[in-house]
Structures are given as C-alpha cells and as structure tokens.
Amino acid sequence: MGSSVIRAVDGISVSVEPGEFVALLGQSGSGKSTLLNLMAGLDRPTSGAVLVEGRDLAKLSSEELARYRRNDVGMVFQAFHLIPSMTIAENIELPMRFAEVDRAEREQRVREALERVGLGHRREHRPSELSGGEQQRVSIARALVNRPSLLLADEPTGNLDSRTGEDILGLIRDLSVAMQMTVVMVTHERALAERFAQRLIFLADGKVTSSTTVNLSGQRAPSLGGSTPAAPNMSGSEEARA
Amino acid sequence: MKGYDLLELAVRNLRQSKLRNGLTTVGISVGVASLVAMLSLGVGLQQLATKRLAGSGMFDTVFVASKVDARGWNRDEDRKEQDLDKAPALDEAARDKMAHLQYVTEVEPEIRVMAEILYGGQTHFGFVTGLPMSARENEAFDSLQGKFFSRSDADEVILLNDFAKELEPKDPKSLIGKEVTLRYGEHQPLAADSENSGRLGVTGEHADNSNAGDDYGFSVVRKMQPLKVVGIIDEEPYGGMRTVSRGRIFLPVDLTERLNMAQFSDMRSSLRGNGKTFMTLTVRVKDPAKVAQVQDAIKQMGFRTFSVLDATKSLRRFFTVLDLFLGIFGSLALAVATLAIINTLVMAVLERRREIGVMKAIGASDADVKRLFFAEAGAMGFFGGVLGIALGFAIGKAINLGTGIYLHNHQLPAEPVWILPPWLIGAAIVFSIVVSLLAGLYPASRAARLDPVQTLKYE
C-alpha cells in the first residue's frame, strides 16, 4: 500500500460549554473518535490547538498530558477496558494509584463510586463475572473516581443491548448533573444521542457537517453551579498516515 | 505513582503468569547460584591455601644469619660491602634486640645436635631439635598423639613416630607418659687455668669478652637427662632455612638452651673467638603482612635475612586470576538468565498492550509504565537472587561433602574448600537486581513508548 496522508480530522472548529452534554455523530471513519482522543490528550493535532480552560493540550509535554488525563478527564470505552485480573474495586482504585491519592481515602472513594453506579455489592468480583451493562458501570465508576470535570465516552453503548444502553446513558447524564461534569460522547446511534445529549455534532470525512441543539423538553436543567467544569474548545486538524 | 503501589502492581503482574515468570526467576537463580558457587569456591580455595601455607610456618618467618657466616648468599651485595668482617655478630645481644622489634613474637635459635636416647636397656641414636612453643601451630602437629610441651623448658620430649617404633616396635603409642633418658654433650667453658694450653692462635684482644672460656675453646662433657615422653608425631616439622630439621627427637627450645648442649657451631665460634653466636635465628612475625617490615628492620641492624615473602605475593596474584576466571564462568549462566528476563518482559509488553494503553488513558505517565516494568524486572531479580543464594549454598555444601569423602578415602583430614562469606550473599542479591534492571531497560522503554490510541482501538 502506498503511503498517503489521511486527514482524520480536518479544519474542525468545535467548542463545548462547561456542563454541556455533547454527542459526536458520524459514520465510522468520520473522525469522531480522533476528535475525542484529541480532547483526551491521548493524541496530538498535527496543527491547530486544543484548548481546555485556556490550556493548549497541543503544547503540553507527555508528562503534563498524563497529569491532565488523570486529574481532569474520565474516559469510558466501548469495550469497557477493565483489567481482567483485577477485582472491580481494584479496577476502580487504579486511577487513584497514578494520582497518588492517599490509601485511606481511596477505600472511601471506591465505595462512593460503586454506590453511585449501583454496584456496591459487586466489589470483589472480577470483570468477567459481570454482565456488559455492569462492566460499563464499573468503567464509569473508574472514570469518576478522580473527580474529573470532563467525561469522554467512546461509543459507551456500542457493546450493549438497547435497554442497557439507555440505562447507561441515563446514568452518565445523571452523574454529569450531580458532579457538574461536561460530557462528550461519541456514538453512531442517533436516537439515543437525541434522547440524552443537549447538542449533536455531525461529522463526515473529518469535517463538521452540522450542529443541532436538542430540546430536552424540561428533562434536564443545565446546572452551572459553583465550580466551572472544563470544556474543550478546539480547532485544527489531525493527520494520520495509513 | 508511589513506591508501594508500584511494587504491589509489579508483584501482582508477576503472579498473573506464574509459570513463565517463575521459570524466568528460576533461570536467574541458577545464574546467581553458579556465580555464587564459583566465587565461593575461589574464596574457599584461597583460605585453604593460605591456612596450609601459614601452617607450614614459612610465611610468618624471617631467617637471620650473620653476614660473615652467610658469605656468598648474595654476591652482588657482598662486593659492595667493604668490611664484611666488621659485620655485627649474631649473638645473644642481637637476639634480644630483634625480640624487641615491633610485631616480632619470638626469636629462636636453630638447635640441632646429636644425642642418644636410653630406653629399655637399649641405646638409640638420633638428632635432637629444639622447638619453640609456636611450633604447636605447625601442620606437623595436626597429627600429634598425646600432648605438646607443657612449658618451653619442661623436661619433656616429643618423638617422631619412626623413632618411637625403634624404641617400642609393637606399640609406639605406649611410650607416651613414660620416661626415657637423654644422653648428650654439654658445652662447658674451659677452666681459667687451662687458658694457655688450649690456644688456637687466637690473640688476647678478646680477653675482655664476658664468657672468656669460649674464646679459647670448650669441653664437651657427657651428660644424662631424664625426660618424659609427652607426644608422638608422624612428620617432621619444618625447620629453619627451609631445610627439614631431620630431627627425630624434639625438645622444648629453652630446655636445650638450659642444658647448654654442645652444637656444631660452637666449634666455629671457638675458632673465631667472638663469644657465643648463633648460626641462624628464626624470627616469627605476628602477621605475614608485617614480614617485610620486620625484615627491613633486621637488615638495618646489619644482618642477612631471608623470607618467602615473594612467594605469597605471587600466590595472591594467582588467586586473583583464579577468582576472575571463576567469576566469568559463573557469569555465563547469569548472562543467559538475562536474556530470559528480556524475553519474558518483551512477551509481557506484547501481551499487555491493551492494559498499558488503558493505564495511560486513565492517567499513567510514560514514566509510570516504565517504572512498573522496571519494578517487575527488579522483583524477579530479587527473588532470583535469594533463591540463587540458597541454591548456591546447597551446591557448595555438596562440593564440600564430595571433597570431604574424597579426602577421607585418601586418609586425609576433611577441609572445607567452599566458603560462602557474608559479603558475597549481599553482593550476589544486589548484582542480581542490577542485572535484571539492565535487562528490563529495553522492554520497559518499549512499553512506555506504546501509543495508547493504537492499543485501545476496538477490533
């Protein structure tokens, strides 16, 4: 195969308000996951900037990006990505090990996070002993445990049946309100996105095609209380070689 | 990430693939064991050789002779010496001076005279040798039956086994505790009135000498001395100047002096007329390392000296080279083990690609990932080191047991040829950890470089 430059995300400019629940929609290969990875600081743009609360992620060192990921971002994946050899409690504890949270406090926070996702009774189980929906709840608990202001979800319902998917998105929405988190979710299920997100951003071939604000019919009042959640504000393009 | 979290994660990761990591750890331990076994063998052999040589009495001893007596020992030096005949005499005063030098434990003359032992109505001829109390340390006394002399001038005698057989062919051992009679020649100065009759061309310039009779001659008077047999030995102890003493009858050296036994050198002293002198003196030094110092001090006094110091130097060089070779052989197995560590960790990196990606996504830095793999390598090194010490210890015990049986079959006393010094235990564990960390360098940096986006792609 010849080597040609593919622009996964090209000349995009997106901004997300603090506390907002945004869904990125598009076909596979449209660049929505790349956009999410840029926001997560897992990937760097070839050109342009990713601004989070005034900080440009593109200019941070890898050590600073790691700190950003551990303190400001929580991530949820389609495949859950729990560590199979660890118990549920240990999986949830892992980000706090990297964040050097005190041992005594960790125990407390694990219990709290498990209760928030309704899995208090499963703490000593292994991920393989849980259903898909339960595993995704664990991964949400893991994402929350370092109290991030930004929750990034990459196809969180992709591996779940539609009823469980709805439960999970409902949980994410409720938690984002309770913990004042900004949520950016990648999905290709438009119906679900319309039900839970405040804004839909459509991508195709690495470009934004449209952006729609959803009327949530009074289901949810945007909460912008005391603290200001981080929200990414980005423009630029990402190139990948294929 | 904090240290204890790092260790906890590392150990839990190692336990995930118990068989693979266990085998690698055993591999390291075999490497450490071979290194430990080899180096301990080197240490053991060196200690054995040093002990044996110290036992031979050669390495802590300086032999002293008068320059006049030892003419021709070192011709180059003799040519430079203009006034050889004015060299100091090796007499009682010189002996006393040497005894007071630092690090000198004793100064003994070499005494060897012909004598006879009367026992059971028979007369047995033999050479008598005077032994200092320090001779107890000599390896010849390892096989001592009975006891050593109780005092340095006790009326006691130790016999060579061959000689004892002459006395008691059936049961030489039964001699121990029995009394024998020694017949010897006593050195007596001539009476003053016989001065003129015995002159042998010696002028009166020495007339003021303290022991006037010695200047002009002496009498040898037959004497008898009862002695108690206290011990029997199989081999002759090594005597002065590296000549085997050839003695068969051993007396405490102070007893021989008290009995004033006539010696060969007495006649020469008499001819020369400079009083009682010694042929050679044997100076024992507290520590073989101080021999050179003592030797220099005695040279300063104007005597000729001889020691086997140079032999110990080349011995040390030999063991340094031996240790080096044993170390290289031992390290080969550890080098192989290093490859096993690299292999294991590279496998682990490949297997745990996704896990590494997840850890990075949830906040692990590149350095955290690198340290985690280092910790795993270090932990394997530590456990391998500890296990290796145990294994090496077992191998060493087996070597000792084997050589013990071999020596026993050859009617020799068992000696440990393998000694594990405490420093080697610590050094081996540290070395094992360091080697493992070095082996972890490549896998760890490879893990740290993994791109989380690639590893987390859903397939």
Name chain B contacts of A94, Cβ cutoff 8 Å: 359, 362
Q: Say how far residue B77 (Cα) sits from the centre of its chain.
A: 32
* Cβ pair B453:A43 closer than 8 A: yes
Inform me whether the C-beta atom of residue A143 falls under 8 Å from chain B C-beta atoms.
yes
**Which parts of A16-143 are beta strand (E)?**
21-26, 47-52, 55-56, 73-76
C-alpha dihedral (B12, B13, B14, B20), degrees to nearest 10 = 140
How far is it, in rounded angstroms, from Cα B447 to Cα B9? 15
pLDDT of residue B51: 74
Answer yes or no: is the ipTM higher than 0.85.
yes
pLDDT band of residue B65 (cuts 50, 70, 90) is: confident
pLDDT band of residue B22 (cuts 50, 70, 90) is: very high
A60 touching B, CB under 8 A? no
Cβ neighbors of A118 (< 8 A, separation 6 or more) are A137
Using the structure block, give the residue that is written with the tokens 């964040």: A99
B5: helix, strand or coil: helix
H or E element in which residue B385 lies: helix B366-409
- Asked if residue B126 lies in contact with residue B248, where contact means CB atoms within 8 angstroms, the answer is yes
Where residue B202 falls among pLDDT bands split at 50, 70, 90?
very low
Confidence (pLDDT) at B304: 83
Per-residue pLDDT, averaged over B379-394, amounts to 93
Q: Could you read off the pLDDT of B81-93 as tens digits, one per residue?
A: 555 566 777 888 8
Q: Please give the full DSSP string across B227-251, using - where no structure is assigned.
A: EEEEEEESSPPB-GGG-B---SEEE
According to the per-residue pLDDT averaged within each range, which of A227-231, B279-283, B453-457 is highest?
B453-457
Average of per-residue pLDDT values in chain B: 82
Which segments of chain A have a pLDDT < 70? 1-8, 215-231, 234-242
What token pair was written down for B57?
């009495």
Percent of chain B residues topping a pLDDT of 70: 84
Tell me if chain B has a CB within 8 Å of the CB of A61.
Answer: no
From chain A, pick out residues whose CB is under 8 angstroms from the CB of B2: 97, 100
What pLDDT was estimated at residue A182? Answer: 95
Residue B43: predicted pLDDT: 85
What is the nearest CA distance from A233 to chain B, expressed in angstroms?
20
Residues of A in contact with B354 (CB under 8 A): 81
Contacts of B12 in chain A (CB under 8 A): 85-86
Is A63 within 8 Å of chain B by CB?
Answer: yes
Task: Map out the domains of chain B as residue ranges.
Answer: 3-54+314-455, 61-308
Nearest to A81 among B354, B364, B453 (CB): B354
Chain B interface residues (partner A, CB cutoff 8 A) = 1-2, 5, 9, 12, 16, 354-355, 357-368, 452-453, 456, 458
Which CATH number is associated with domain A5-79+148-241? 3.40.50.300
The predicted-structure confidence for B121-160, as pLDDT tens digits, reads as follows 888 888 888 888 877 777 778 778 888 888 888 899 998 8
Calculate how close chain A gets to B373, using CA atoms only, in Å: 15
Per-residue confidence (pLDDT) for residue B77, from 0 to 100: 57
pTM for the predicted model, two decimal places? 0.68
pLDDT tens digit string along B290-344? 888 888 888 888 888 877 765 666 777 888 888 888 888 888 888 888 999 999 9
Instruction: Answer whether A123 touches B (CB < 8 Å).
Output: no
Contact B363 A78 (CB under 8 A): no
Given a cut of 70, whether residue B383 has pLDDT beyond it is yes
What confidence score (pLDDT) does residue A238 get? 56
Put the strands of the sheet holding A232-241 in their side by side order.
A5-15, A232-241, A47-52, A55-56
pLDDT at B427: 92
Distance of alpha carbon B305 from alpha carbon B293, whole angstroms: 12
Please state at what angle helix B291-300 crosses helix B309-351, rounded to 10 degrees.
160
- For residue B71, what pLDDT is reported? 57
- Return the number of other C-beta atoms located less than 10 Å from residue B209's C-beta: 15
Cα nearest neighbour of A84 on chain B: B355
Task: Give the pLDDT score at A225.
Answer: 37
Residues of A in contact with B370 (CB under 8 A): none
Give the best residue of B12, B13, B17, B358 to mutate against chain A (max A CB count within 10 A): B358
Q: Is A106 on the interface with B (CB under 8 A)?
A: no
Each residue's pLDDT tens digit, B413-447: 777 888 888 999 999 999 999 999 999 999 999 99
> Could you tell me the CA-to-CA distances from A104 to A38, A140, A146, B4, B9 in Å, in that order?
34, 22, 14, 14, 18
Is the Cβ pair B452, A155 closer than 8 Å?
Answer: no
List chain B residues with CB under 8 Å of A70: 362-364
Question: What percentage of chain B carries pLDDT values higher than 90?
Answer: 25
Nearest residue, CB atoms, A66 vs list B2, B363, B456: B363
The predicted structure's pLDDT at residue A201: 93
Of B12, B354, B362, the CB nearest to A70: B362
Which segment of A155-164, B94-103, B264-273, B414-423 scores lowest on mean pLDDT? B264-273
Closest A-chain CA to B456? A81
pLDDT for res A67: 94
DSSP category for residue A226: S
For residue B192, the model assigns a pLDDT of 53
Grade residue B187 by pLDDT with cuts at 50, 70 and 90: confident
- Give the whole-angstrom CA distance, residue B347 versus residue A122: 32
Residue B5 distance to chain A (closest CA, Å)? 6
What confidence tier does B380 reach under pLDDT thresholds 50, 70, 90? very high
How is residue A22 written in tokens? 């945004």
Q: Say what the pLDDT of residue A240 is.
A: 42
Q: What is residue B203's predicted lDDT score, i.e. its pLDDT?
A: 42
Nearest CA of chain B to the CA of A63: how many Å? Answer: 6
